[in-house]
Amino acid sequence: MRALILVDIQNDFMPFGALPVADGDAVVAVANGLAERFSLVVATQDWHPADHGSFASMHDGLHPGDIVDLGGVEQVLWPDHCVQNTPGASFHSALNVAAIDYVVRKGTERDVDSYSGFYDNDRRRDTGLGEYLMSRGVDEVVICGLATDYCVKYTVLDAVGMGFGVTVIEDGCRAVDLQAGDGDRALVDMHSAGARVLESSELT
């Protein structure tokens, strides 16, 4: 069985949001079109406490883009974003949430971030997504969302590592690109790990 995973299509990652991804809102229509073709749709949702350790505001003298050690893991600092129960954490208003069967909230612990929809970055805690998919008989996943070079990439790499067949929908993703070309390099990394990279029009 094949499932669709929509990664972090949330207000704060849109061009108008707190952690804007250029052209991020373009993924919404692609996601909606894909969701019509799947009987099982899962969405991940960044869901941070207000004092999350990945927020630059929690580190005196540091700024978004700086690197720190957070719980033994190298961590990029970000603007405050996707704080639990705020509008920024909500899914984009145009996303067809009625098509979503299961939502995985991640990044809920103050002391560790969670790019992947499957595990926290320290890999000591899992979100339950893998168990859920396997309980539904899923052996293949199609993934799109935000952002290519962070949460999409690590969700894809974990899915491959867990034995799922994985397809990344390139036109359904956009990158942060802290360094120019990060998004393109992430697509190469995902393909090298064993994921297919397709346009939505190529998915059969």
Q: Active-site positions?
A: 8, 106, 151
- 157 within 8 A of 190, measured Cβ to Cβ: yes
Q: Which tokens go with 74?
A: 């190298």
What single DSSP character describes residue 148? I
At residue 17, φ and ψ (nearest 5 deg) are -90, -175
At residue 157, φ and ψ (nearest 5 deg) are -60, -40
* Coil vs helix vs strand at 27: helix
Which sign, positive or negative, has the C-alpha torsion 113, 115, 120, 122? negative
* Coil vs helix vs strand at 45: strand
Q: Which tokens go with 26?
A: 């373009």
- 54 within 8 A of 113, measured Cβ to Cβ: yes
What single DSSP character describes residue 102? E
